[in-house]
Amino acid sequence: MGDMANSSIEFHPKPQQQREVPHVGGFGCTLAELRSLMELRGAEALQKIQEAYGDVSGLCRRLKTSPTEGLADNTNDLEKRRQIYGQNFIPPKQPKTFLQLVWEALQDVTLIILEVAAIVSLGLSFYAPPGEESEACGNVSGGAEDEGEAEAGWIEGAAILLSVICVVLVTAFNDWSKEKQFRGLQSRIEQEQKFTVIRNGQLLQVPVAALVVGDIAQVKYGDLLPADGVLIQGNDLKIDESSLTGESDHVRKSADKDPMLLSGTHVMEGSGRMVVTAVGVNSQTGIIFTLLGAGGEEEEKKDKKGKQQDGAMDSSQTRAKKQDGAVAMEMQPLKSAEGGEMEEREKKKANVPKKEKSVLQGKLTKLAVQIGKAGLVMSAITVIILVLYFVIETFVVDGRVWLAECTPVYVQYFVKFFIIGVTVLVVAVPEGLPLAVTISLAYSVKKMMKDNNLVRHLDACETMGNATAICSDKTGTLTTNRMTVVQSYLGDTHYKEIPAPSALTPKILDLLVHAISINSAYTTKILPPEKEGALPRQVGNKTECALLGFILDLKRDFQPVREQIPEDQLYKVYTFNSVRKSMSTVIRMPDGGFRLFSKGASEILLKKCTNILNSNGELRGFRPRDRDDMVKKIIEPMACDGLRTICIAYRDFSAIQEPDWDNENEVVGDLTCIAVVGIEDPVRPEVPEAIRKCQRAGITVRMVTGDNINTARAIAAKCGIIQPGEDFLCLEGKEFNRRIRNEKGEIEQERLDKVWPKLRVLARSSPTDKHTLVKGIIDSTTGEQRQVVAVTGDGTNDGPALKKADVGFAMGIAGTDVAKEASDIILTDDNFTSIVKAVMWGRNVYDSISKFLQFQLTVNVVAVIVAFTGACITQDSPLKAVQMLWVNLIMDTFASLALATEPPTESLLLRKPYGRDKPLISRTMMKNILGHAVYQLTIIFTLLFVGELFFDIDSGRNAPLHSPPSEHYTIIFNTFVMMQLFNEINARKIHGERNVFDGIFSNPIFCTIVLGTFGIQIVIVQFGGKPFSCSPLSTEQWLWCLFVGVGELVWGQVIATIPTSQLKCLKEAGHGPGKDEMTDEELAEGEEEIDHAERELRRGQILWFRGLNRIQTQALQV
């Protein structure tokens, strides 16, 4: 990597010497020349190319490459190019070291307070006040006569420090493994990123990192350019350069006007070939990254997505930041298409509550703030009561005077009270929540990879569990995307199967073969099958593959035609886009005239036809009446069979006057229809079942397609999206727009609200219609709660809808880079059933968090009440600081691991989505939390106040400072932990199920953790001694503790018997932000809101702000 970074320095000749420099490695251009060339645009660049190299082919010669054949696939040559011109990746920013993460974990406010308290306590324990005054200080040091005991005073402080170190190491390790996981995911995405180049005259798909300077790359609609290059030949090429320039208008590129193509920009239309001139750190994006690497150290920028350049920057920063050296960041950043869209996003932020926070985040934030406040109040009250009690008892009741020499003794007491207070706070605040969410999401993401879901934004996985609507594409998602022509209309005859070639007039057949072979992307091909007996492989656009397959079925071949008229001899190409819904190619005829071939959606193209070929291959007039006739008799029957109809036509221009090619409407008109074909794309066999599952799970599936309405309706019926006898709507884009717009042509939400609830199929829809529909459903307020919408898309133009949706799914196989970039999850197999899996995982995440909360809050309630009342009644917490930290570790780290890794089950799909307003803690959970808390508190208080009589041991209450640990308090601690362990098993079910052991062995992590915790607990109690304030227990005492613990399971059954519906008094907690609470301004000020909450609570707690935000930024590129 070092050489690459330096290479930019080594090869910087002075500009005026550039002719004489003996060029490095035998190439005719230096790195510096190419870098300075790529900084020019438009006419300047052309002039520079002409002056320095003559033309683009001159540049190719200097780079020792052929514009048509590409590079020889020779490893030595490729290696040499990498050494001289650099590799195509950007060296990533170094990941945080483990020590840095430890330092970050130490910043946690609560831990700092504990550290300070522990250090003060340590310091005081080493300070021995003069002995003779000890009487005067009262009974405060009563138990410390024993020298050995007095010396052991330092142990508590040391133990607290030690447990703080444990917590810090665990947190740091979690962060570290989390980051490592993201890098793994990252590298997976990057390895999958391929680009088409020509080497040895063959088209190859190579990983983006393998591109070298001099490669000839094919660029096509939907690509994200992975390197800088100069256009050799292009058809109707338009590029979106907003990610570099911020200009949202598309830039038209052509070899003779503006041939400069820059890395990180999107191809919005057309196709072409370019020679790669700069890769990695020397490309335009790479240069920006290098600058950022130098200047962008402040992590915090990520939190404040402020101005546009910040946005563009921080996307890049986080992008560059989260990879590791080996993976290194490839140039094709499948990460965040920010830049130009940032302005839109700023506008959006002001008026649309889009992705404000994910559903879970919103609820958790609220809950954490509530718990944090409660904890703070409780701990403050505890400290105040302890101090007041001590002061009143010592100075008022006993009437002592504060003597100077007694100060350290008193301070020692105050420190002890302070430590108890902090411990209450530590236990009250659920630090484990961030961890549980992180673990649960990370675990799900990892497993979802196996289910063909590549999650790029972590929270998408959880949002998916709340989805109420899915707007799906038809082609490739619901269907197999293996298209074949099954019906055709040629020479006045409707063939229901492939006609025999002999049945067709040679003229028609010849025209048809030329029209299809030439007027389709030359990258689309049909290759022989890989295995004997398999189907031929379709490469490229599937509709075009179907047409090429039709030629092969007619016993003709498309390859000779393409060789006769190679791609660079095509005179003009109007590429397919969603507005035209057609593609046309112009070729020059031998007589000097021109011929235009056109193909496209039949109802659109037939309107432009004025003639049609009859059975003899002669022209016959084609009037509007004939057209209506044809639509009724040919096209509609084909569409009702679920076929997609394509019309193929041509037009001749005389040599006398060349038409104005830019006037497209004029050129593509007055056509002659050659044929209309019906293409079948069969429904995937597993889709109807998947859609049934969705409907049962309360999710409405809608189909949004560019196909004609009859085709769409037929496919929707086959999939089960529409069922006979149901009240549903199937609309075309035009009709949909007519219904939702007012007289001025503006979209009205009220009108939309009348349409979308019943809408199941939207046909002939443009990308804008898709976006309108998604936005309309999300913004609608008609239902009881806001809809959560998932959308699938594959085309460049689906970008806006994918971004707008709560969860955007892009197709991994058929999807363009732009679509993947806008999406949250990539379906690696393009299959609808994977979406259902995503729903299952999403619901599972939500349930895992709920399970964890149910367990965590029970422990919190009990521990806080015990510490509080214990402190108030006996001036000492029955659970010591170190014990509390251990309990905290069990219930936070371990429980989050155990409960967050439960695998999902099919039963998750049998209930309706929770929705945005359903509280995180349901009534049933509240019943469980309070029910178990009552049991645990009863046991603990019984033990605290009459335990010594029951076990016939010394009472541990009112023990003086530094007294040895008592068996009494050890039993309380042990019983407490045992009850938590068994309650952890209860927490596995949150919907009031009786069998809490159901499926427990399918989760080995859970079993290991419960047994492991039990083992450590035995060690702590028997050998923990002074640091853990434990004294060893007898077997009988252990059995009693276990017996009480197992009682939790029995008590759980008792609680399950109480019907929740009777307990009206129970409040739910952790609601999502209500509609009325979330005003637009509040949303716009989301950032400040975060700061408030952070002030109210300590930093570590609120993962969903920092942690989850950090996760999301890390995952932005994932």
pLDDT digits 0-9 by tens, 219-256: 888 788 888 899 888 887 888 887 777 676 788 888 88
Residue 838 has pLDDT above 80, yes or no: yes
Would you state the structure tokens that stand for residue 951, as one six-digit string? Answer: 């076990």
Total residue length of the chain:
1118
Nearest CA to 159 out of 1012, 892, 970, 884 is that of 884
In angstroms, what CA-CA distances link 585 with 234, 298, 577, 661, 1066? 13, 52, 14, 11, 71
- Tell me which H or E stretch contains 911: none
Q: Which residues contact 978 (CB under 8 A, 6 or more apart)?
A: 1017, 1041, 1042, 1044, 1045
**DSSP codes, 751-803:** HHHHHTTTEEEEES--HHHHHHHHHHHHH---SSS---EEEEE-SGGGHHHHH
pLDDT band at 325 (very low <50, low <70, confident <90, very high): very low
The question of whether 473 is a catalytic residue gets the answer yes
Task: Give the pLDDT of residue 1070.
Answer: 57
405, pLDDT greater than 90: no
How far is residue 169's CA from residue 1013's CA, in Å, rounded to a whole number? 18
Angstrom distances, CA of residue 531 to CA of 525, 536, 1022: 17, 9, 67
Q: Tokens for 309, please give them.
A: 């350049």
Cα distance between the two ends of the chain: 23
Report DSSP letters for 789-806, one per residue.
Answer: EEEEE-SGGGHHHHHHSS
- The three-class DSSP label of residue 355 is coil
Q: What is the pLDDT of residue 251?
A: 85
Beta pairing, strands 537-539 & 525-527: antiparallel
Distance from C-alpha of 808 to C-alpha of 454, rounded to nearest angstrom: 12
Please give the structure tokens belonging to residue 425: 């706070």
Confidence of residue 1071 (pLDDT cuts 50, 70, 90): low
Query: 3-state DSSP helix/strand/coil percent for the chain, to nearest 5?
Result: 55, 15, 30
Number of Cβ within a 10 Å radius of residue 346: 15
With H, G, I as helix, E, B as strand and everything else as coil, classify residue 991. Answer: coil
Copy the structure tokens of residue 524. Answer: 């689309």
Cα 243 to Cα 341: distance, rounded to the nearest angstrom: 8
CB atoms within 10 A of CB 1118: 25
Most confident of the following: 3-7, 132-136, 241-245, 1041-1045:
1041-1045
pLDDT at 597: 93
pLDDT at 1081: 33
Query: Where residue 938 falls among pLDDT bands split at 50, 70, 90?
Result: very high
Residue 258 backbone dihedrals phi, psi, to 5 degrees: -140, 95
Report the distance separating Cα 714 and Cα 710, nearest Å: 6
**pLDDT for the residue 1068:** 63
Instruction: Report whether pLDDT(315) > 90.
Output: no
Q: What is the mean pLDDT of residues 871-887?
A: 74
Q: Which of 191-200, 402-411, 885-894, 1064-1073 has the lowest mean pLDDT?
A: 1064-1073
User: What's the Cα-to-Cα distance from 389 to each of 314, 857, 865, rounded to whole Å?
Assistant: 54, 29, 18
**Is the model's pLDDT at 1098 over the cut of 60?**
no
- Find all residues with CB under 8 Å of 699, minimum gap 6, and list them: 467, 468, 469, 470, 839, 913
Rounded (10°) angle between helices 1004-1023 and 967-986: 180
Listed in sequence order, the DSSP H helices in 495-538 are: 506-518
Residues 6+ apart with CB under 8 A from 1113: 302, 314, 318
* Bridge partners for 648 per DSSP: 599, 675
Tokens 């830039």, residue located: 251
Given a cut of 50, whether residue 557 has pLDDT beyond it is yes
- pLDDT digit string, tens, across residues 58-112: 888 888 888 888 888 788 888 888 888 888 877 766 778 888 888 887 876 667 7
Residue 419 has pLDDT above 80, yes or no: no
Nearest to 958 by CA among 408, 401, 142: 142
d(CA 442, CA 181): 8
Task: With residue 825 as reference, give the H or E element that holds it.
Answer: strand 825-827
| pLDDT for residue 1088 | 35
Please write the tens of the pLDDT for every residue from 676-719.
Answer: 999 988 888 888 999 999 999 999 999 998 888 888 888 898 88
Beta bridge partners of 741: 747
Which of 127, 344, 364, 144 is closest to 240 using CA atoms?
344
Ranges 145-159, 712-726, 958-972, 1054-1068, most confident: 712-726
pLDDT > 70: what percent of the chain?
A: 78
pLDDT score, position 491: 85
| pLDDT bracket for residue 9 (50, 70, 90) | very low
What is the number of other CB atoms lying within 10 angstroms of the CB of residue 991?
A: 12
Read off the amino acid at residue 874: T
CA dist 581 and 567 (Å) reads 22
Residue 695's nearest CA partner among 727, 723, 730 is 723
Is the per-residue pLDDT at 121 higher than 80? no
Query: Stretch 623-630: mean pLDDT, rounded?
Result: 89
Ranking 179-193, 332-346, 372-386, 402-416 by mean pLDDT, the lowest is: 332-346
How many angstroms separate the CA atoms of 457 and 418, rounded? 42
More confident residue, 957 or 745: 745
Of the candidate ranges 24-33, 212-221, 378-387, the one whose mean pLDDT is the lowest: 24-33
Q: Which residue has the tokens 């400069």?
A: 260
Helix or strand run (H / E) with residue 231: strand 228-240
Q: Which residue has the higher pLDDT, 616 or 150?
A: 616
pLDDT digits (tens, 9 = 90+) for 453-478: 888 777 788 788 888 999 988 877 88
The pair of three-digit structure tokens given for residue 1005, joined into one six-digit string: 């992590």
Q: How far is CA 530 from CA 199, 527, 835, in A?
A: 21, 9, 29
Output the pLDDT for position 934: 93
Handedness of CA 207, 208, 209, 210 (dihedral sign): positive
pLDDT band for 1067, please (50, 70, 90 cuts): low
Contact status, residue 316 vs residue 289, Cβ threshold 8 Å:
yes
- In angstroms, the CA 268 to CA 819 distance is 11
The pLDDT, as a whole number, for residue 20 is 37
Separation CA 863–CA 382 (nearest Å): 13
**Residues 561, 516: Cα–Cα separation, whole Å:** 10
Q: What pLDDT shows up at residue 1069?
A: 60
3-state secondary structure of 858: helix
> Given this model, what pLDDT does residue 891 score?
65
Percent of the chain exceeding pLDDT 90 equals: 9
pLDDT classification of 1072: cutoffs 50, 70, 90: low
In 61-154, DSSP assigns E strands to 89-90
Residue 936: pLDDT band (50, 70, 90) is: very high
Give 598's pLDDT tier (boundaries 50, 70, 90). Answer: very high
CA pair distance 1055, 1068, nearest whole angstrom = 17
Q: Which residue has the higher pLDDT, 679 or 888?
A: 679
Q: Which is it for the CA torsion 437, 438, 441, 447, positive or negative?
A: negative
User: CA separation (Å) from 881 to 157, 163, 423, 843, 890?
Assistant: 9, 9, 6, 37, 14
Annotated catalytic residue within 240, 473, 769, 798: 473
Query: Taking a C-beta distance cutoff of 8 angstroms, is the pair 28, 37 a contact?
Result: no
**Amino acid identity at 925:** M
Q: What's the confidence (pLDDT) of residue 539?
A: 79
pLDDT for the residue numbered 25: 62
Instruction: Give the CB-side neighbour count of residue 10, counting CA atoms within 13 A.
Output: 12
> What number is the average pLDDT over the span 892-910?
81
- What does the pLDDT read at residue 648? 94
* Tokens read off for 639: 């569409």
Q: What average pLDDT does the chain have?
A: 77
Range among 423-432, 544-553, 1065-1074 rated most confident: 544-553
Mean pLDDT along residues 622-650: 89
pLDDT band at 430, cuts 50/70/90?
low
Segment among 268-272, 883-887, 1067-1071 with least mean pLDDT = 1067-1071
Q: Which two tokens stand for residue 550?
A: 């039709």
Give the pair of three-digit tokens for residue 441.
């999401």
Comparing CA positions, the residue from 998, 992, 950 lying closest to residue 975 is 950
Asked if the model's pLDDT at residue 970 lies above 80, the reply is yes
Look at residue 925 in the predicted model and tell me its pLDDT.
Answer: 86
How confident is residue 761, by pLDDT bands cut at 50, 70 and 90?
A: very high
Residues 891/851, Cβ–Cβ less than 8 Å: no
